[in-house]
Structure 1
Amino acid sequence: MYVPPAFRETDEAAMHDTMRAAPLASVVTGTAAGLLCTPLPLFLDPGEGERGVLYGHLARANPQWREPAHGEALAIFSGPDAYVTPSWYATKRETGKVVPTWNYVAVHAYGPAEFFDDPARLLAVVTRLTERHEGARPAPWAVADAPADFVAAQLRGIVGLRLTITRLEGKRKMSQNRSAEDRAGVAAGLAAGEDAARRVAPLIPRA
């Protein structure tokens, strides 16, 4: 993705946080059949490899895992985002030389994709994904709550994904290229908006 210097995120821990916070990623591979993309819940294991490893699974009927990938796979994670109206800028009142934009956080993780169907590895992946998304519930559901033969049958219908991260690109576009007065106006406007906008407001740099 295009990342101007003002918006470049270089803090790997911050990028990992964005990846953990994103409930759904888009996994893209380039193949002889063209670009293939599947939205997938993934989890990050930061202790594996030099930059971490991503795990998930997709349906066995999905052709993406069968098509050999040309080069690296790409996992796209989207963070908070919101529309920014020129009406919030102090510059609008001063010169009128302003246009709308969009503020957002995004992380692109690149690396080779490995697909596997070993039942023990698949069970470990679905168990960790389940624990990640059920853990905060008052009465979390666990994979072990389902009959073992039913779980085994479900595992036969999926294929695991292991993506070893070799390269990370991060972008945090939060009005860093605007004046302090313009940024203050953006933060105030977002804070008065809907839930999605309010999540972006604290990310606007004020100093």
Structure 2
Amino acid sequence: MYAGTLILKLLLLLDSGQEDRENGRSLSLDSIKNVVCEFIESTFSLASDISAWRNYLVAPLTEELVFRACMIPLLLCGGFSTYTVVFLCPIFFSLAHLNHLLEYAQRSGSWPKAFAVVGFQLGYTVIFGSYASFLFVRTGHLTAPLVAHIFCNYLGIPIIISRRTGMVTVASVAGLLGFIWLLFPLTSPHLYNARTDNCMCWHRYCSWS
């Protein structure tokens, strides 16, 4: 899903190297070291940024614990079907982001803009929440949705179309097709669980192979 985003970041890096060559600076070991040093510095700056800890660790961990690890087993053991749970939990997960409405309204000074931004965010979180719920039910582990949550928070909304080049669009389409093709094989319950029999009520992966 993020193939287009990654390709765009790679193209931006190549453009930076092209600018260095045009300015008479050849691609040398020193320039490579500078790129590595900048990456390390940005990593350390994130480690000292409290908002980064909130966005990339605290928020994903607490949200996955509440909306996946706690809510999904209760609904499954309560008799809800697998697909109902996969698409129901994300609605609650999405509504939990309504707290940003006032923040956006104060920042933009416009309630219509705030409603538009939050509405888009709610729609996006429903889609991601369905995927995260699918991962949790399908694998039986919290690690998969947690890693996906952190990854999505870090990269943001996937870039599908870019004015710079058609490569981004091609990569996005290829990534989407690969995602659909590999979704079920790479989340097979047998890859993540030693046993798929004598399961508890919330171990729905036992009957979802």
Q: TM-score, normalised by structure 2?
A: 0.24
Q: TM-score, normalised by structure 1?
A: 0.24
Normalized per residue, the structure richer in strand is: 1
Normalized per residue, the structure richer in helix is: 2
